[in-house]
Structures are given as structure tokens and as C-alpha cells.
Amino acid sequence: MDAQKLSLADLPEFDLHGEEYNSNPYQLLERLRNQSPVAKSQRGFEVLRYETLNWMLKADEFDIPTADLNVSLGCGPLQESFDRHGRLPALPREQHARIRRVMGQAFALRRIGERRDLMAEVANNLIDKFVDRGECDFIADFTHHYSITVACLLFGVDIKDVPSFQNATATMMHMFSNPLAPHVPAIEAALQTLWDYLEPLVESRTNEPKEDFISALVEAQKTQGKLSKEEVIWGLANLLFAGHDTTRSQLANCVRAILEHPGVWDDIRDNHDRIPFVMHESIRYYPTVQANRRVVRNPVEFEGFLAEPGQLIYLNTLSASRDPERFDNPNTYDTTRPIESYNTAFGHGIHHCLGHVLAKTEMIEALRVLTERLENVRFNGPLVTLPYSGQLGSLKSLPLKFDARTN
């Protein structure tokens, strides 16, 4: 049978901003997935099945939308410059490969593995600030500060300047909003803040290298190819953004999943080798990256549909992460699942997240320190989620009560 031309007509529809989707998206998506492998929303086409999503992430027939998409949505000049020079997923393939080669050399796995002590120190310092209270807002008191502090210290940013980066990189999450217009002034201000700080810092490390990532990036250009000033500064801003917002949100989602399932907290406290399994299952169960965007490059068939060049498709991670064709009992939180069973959280192929090792190492170290310092951890109020309509999702706050461990 010939493939049906991909069209919004006749596809099952859901409302991204509706009460049903925002109260329990998994239940709604399960119903839609049983009707069709593709649905439609205000964003357009939504791919719902894991195997199709996984294939699209790495298939040559698809690309990530370039800066032109955000220009068409009304982004400001700094965001356009950021998209055209630093936001790796949005760059043309040749430019992407060139910048990624240099960044990857500087962002070596060895350097990250050697800094677990720094991650533990940052985590312990944050816990020290609230441990005597017996309660905290885990997002406001811990995750909002943890990943960006680690990233900034790795980059060589002075600790006193970290709050400026926190606010700027948190604001950048609105770059993926639709409509974009209400957020443009804040996004532009955030990007200006990052440029104004990073420009002299890069110049300083070029003239006087130190033991940090920016100095390693300067050195890598001697063997891996020269980057433009915009590519260096916006590339660094992109890594700071990706290393802050997604990690802080995903770590909060991990703790939420752990606390909803009695015994898991104590299990990973007593068995550190279990932490990676718990972390990966938590990412599957409550993914922060709720959707990825792809543009069709060449005519391609999938799931009985024929997609034409230029069509924009959303890969719905919330649906794919609970697909029963991939996961047994997908709505069950099962920390014995093989780590490799859910391998799309950090992308695939040429767009595989450059900072995935740092993000996972940060979360593992945070969970290790948290479970060693705190016990009898429980929720201390209702959980309020941010709307599920964006590409990134998280809790608005995560109020907790706990007892400090004394041994």
C-alpha cells in the first residue's frame, strides 16, 4: 500500500494547553498512541512512538531547525546571532561538525571524571546552607545552584559571579517558547549578560591560560581548527545554558521519582553502584526534555506516512518514554531496567548532547551526596509542574522535609 502523504488532516488531536494534557499527559498520550503513531497539536505533527523517535534522532533524512525558524517567530538579534554561531543543534552540518570537534577536544571525558571532587564539594556546600532547617525547596535551594556552579567553576568563572549566570541561563529556556514574542526582551538581556562576561574572560585565558575549560578550548583550536569570536563565546554560552537548565530540572525530576517510590532513597545510599540505574530510569519516567524538533531534509516514509522536505515534526518524548512496544510495564518505575533500554534522553547521532557525560556525572554525584547527608526525606507540600507545552519541563518547586544523617 502506498504511503499516505503526511498531513494534519485526519490525525488525532490534543491541546497542549488543555487541562487534560497538563494534568496527566501520559494518560492522554497513551490513548492517542493507541490510535495513531502520529498526532497533531498546536505545534504541528507529533511523533508518539519510541522506535520512530529514536530513528528520527539519528536519520540523515532529518535535521534540527536552523536559526531561520526562531527568526520567523520574531526572535531578537542576539538570539539570532546565538543560534547562528553557538547553539550547536541549530547549526548547518559542516559548521556544527567543525565547532563540535574543537569543543569535544576541550570537553574531554578525562577532565570531567577528574572533577567529581568539585561536584561533591558544591553539593555539600549547598546542603550545609539548609540542613539545619530540616526542610528546603529542593529546586530553589539546591538544583538551581548546583549544576550552574559546577559548570562555571569548570569554565573558570569566579564564584562570586555565578548568580549572574544562574539568572541568565535560566531565562534562556524561553528561547523555545511559542509564542516567543513575550520573552524576547528577557532573552536578549540574558544573552547580553553572558556576552559581556565571557568576552573578556576568553581574552584573558587566551593571553594567560589556566587549568579550566576555556583555556582548554583556546588550546584545542591550535590543533582542531580556529573558531570565530562569535562561535567561541556563543558556544560557551550554549554549554552553560544546556548544563544548567536541563540538568537542574532533570535532577529535580529524578528526586521526585525516587521519593514517590519508597525504599529507593535508602537503596542508593547503601549501594552507590545502583545510582546510575536509578538515574536513567528516573529520566525515562519523568523526562525533562519533553520534545525534540526535526525538519525533513529529503522525502521520507515513516509509519505509513510520506513526509516532504521542510515539514517540521515534533518528537514527543513524554509519549515515547512510556511506549509499551519498547518498555515492559512502561508506567511502572522499575530501577532494574537495563541502562541502555532508554537511550534517547541525550539525543543521538551527530546531535548527541556534547555535555551528556558532565550532566550524568553531576546527577550521580549529587544523588550520592544527598543520600549520604539526608534521610527520611519526604514531600512537604503539593507538587506544581510547569506547563507541559514546551520542549523542556520541570517542577516549579519541590518542597521537602528531611532528617540530617548523623553517621
Is residue 82 one of the residues assigned to a domain?
yes
d(CA 124, CA 126): 5
Is residue 42 one of the residues assigned to a domain?
no
* 182-215 tens-digit pLDDT: 999 999 999 999 999 999 999 999 999 998 989 9
Least confident of 219-228, 289-298, 380-389: 380-389
DSSP track, 172-234: GGGGG-SS-GGGHHHHHHHHHHHHHHHHHHHHHHHHS--SSHHHHHHHHHHHH----HHHHHH
pLDDT at 259: 98
**Residue listed under C-alpha cell 494534557:** 21
pLDDT at 385: 85
d(CA 172, CA 250): 16
Is residue 304 one of the residues assigned to a domain?
no
φ, ψ dihedrals at 323, nearest 5°: -80, 115
3-class SS at 287?
coil
Give me the percent of the chain exceeding a pLDDT of 90. 61
Rg of the chain (C-alpha set): 21
Mean pLDDT of the 381-386 span: 87
* 33-48 tens-digit pLDDT: 999 999 999 888 999 9
pLDDT at 365: 97
The number of beta carbons lying within 10 Å of the beta carbon of residue 350 is 16
| Helix axes 229-241 and 144-155, enclosed angle (nearest 10) | 150
| Domain range enclosing 206 | 74-297+344-404
3-class SS at 43?
coil
d(CA 86, CA 367): 31
pLDDT at 78: 97
Beta bridge partners of 251: none
Query: Which three three-digit cell numbers place residue 400?
Result: 521537602
Query: Which three three-digit cell numbers place residue 233?
Result: 563565546
Q: How far is CA 293 from CA 46, 51, 180, 343, in A?
A: 9, 16, 16, 17
Q: Model's pTM, two decimal places? A: 0.91
For the chain, the distance separating the N- and C-terminal CA atoms, rounded to the nearest angstrom, is: 67
d(CA 130, CA 152): 22
Query: Which three three-digit cell numbers place residue 25?
Result: 499527559
pLDDT at 1: 46
Mean pLDDT of the 100-124 span: 84
3-class SS at 59?
coil
Give me the percent of the chain exceeding a pLDDT of 70. 96
Is residue 317 one of the residues assigned to a domain?
no
What region, left, alpha or beta, does residue 305 occupy, with left being phi > 0 and alpha being psi -120 to 50 degrees?
beta
Strand order in the sheet with 291-296: 38-41, 44-47, 312-316, 291-296, 62-63
Mean pLDDT of the 316-342 span: 93
Is residue 56 one of the residues assigned to a domain?
no
| Residues near 198 by beta carbon (within 8 Å), at least 6 away in sequence | 233, 236, 237
* 211-252 tens-digit pLDDT: 898 999 999 998 888 899 999 999 999 988 887 888 999 999
The more confidently predicted of residues 98 and 343 is 98
pLDDT at 125: 98
Is residue 2 one of the residues assigned to a domain?
no
- Chain centroid offset of residue 24 CA: 21
pLDDT at 130: 98
Is residue 68 one of the residues assigned to a domain?
no
DSSP track, 312-368: EEEEEHHHHTT-TTTSSSTTS--TTS-GGGS--TT--GGGS-TTHHHHHHHHHHHHH
Q: The domain that contains 127 carries what CATH number?
A: 1.10.630.10
- Number of separate domains in the chain: 1
Say if residue 342 is exposed, middle or buried (CB neighbours under 10 Å; 0-12, 13-18, 19+). buried
Is residue 386 one of the residues assigned to a domain?
yes
Residue environment code for 59-84, b if the CB has 16+ CB neighbours within 10 A, otherwise e? bebbbbebbebbeeeebbebbebbbb
The more confidently predicted of residues 92 and 199 is 199
Q: How far is CA 388 from CA 76, 93, 317, in A?
A: 25, 30, 11
Mean pLDDT of the 143-147 span: 94
